[in-house]
Amino acid sequence: MNDDSYHSYSSAYRQYSHDQSLEVRELQIERKFFTAQIRENERGKFLRLTEEAQGRRNTVIVPASGFKDFADLINDILSTEAARTE
C-alpha cells in the first residue's frame, strides 16, 4: 500500500470513528437485519440505514438536509403500493 492510499484510508477511519450515535432502531424481516441510526460528526447529523443479510452489509447515508425529502419519498412509494394492492 503506498503512502497516499494509507493516508486516505486512515483519514476515513478517523472520521468514521468520531461519529456519535444519537438514536438507534433495529428491525428483523425474514433473514435480514435493518438498523437505522441518527449519527452526528463534525460535518453535521445524518441518517445511516444498514441492511445485513447472509454476511453482507449495505449502507445508505442521508444527510440531515435530506431527512424530510427522504421520508416523503419512502411514504409516497409505500402509500402508492398500498393503494395499488387494495
pLDDT tens per residue across span 22-63? 999 999 999 999 999 999 999 999 999 999 999 999 999 999
- Of the chain, the percentage scoring pLDDT greater than 70 comes to 80
Exposure pattern of 6-35 as b/e (b: 16+ CB <10 Å)? Answer: eeeeeeeeeeeeeeeeeeeeeeeeeeeeee
> Does some domain include residue 45?
yes
Residues with Cβ within 8 Å of residue 3, at least 6 apart in sequence = none
What rounded mean pLDDT belongs to the chain?
Answer: 88
> Does some domain include residue 9?
no
For the chain, how many structural domains are there in total? 1
What is the extent of the structural domain holding 25? 20-84
Q: For the residues 59-81, what does the mean pLDDT come to?
A: 97
> Does some domain include residue 6?
no
Q: Which CATH number does the domain housing residue 41 bear?
A: 3.10.450.700
Better-predicted residue by pLDDT, 73 or 2: 73
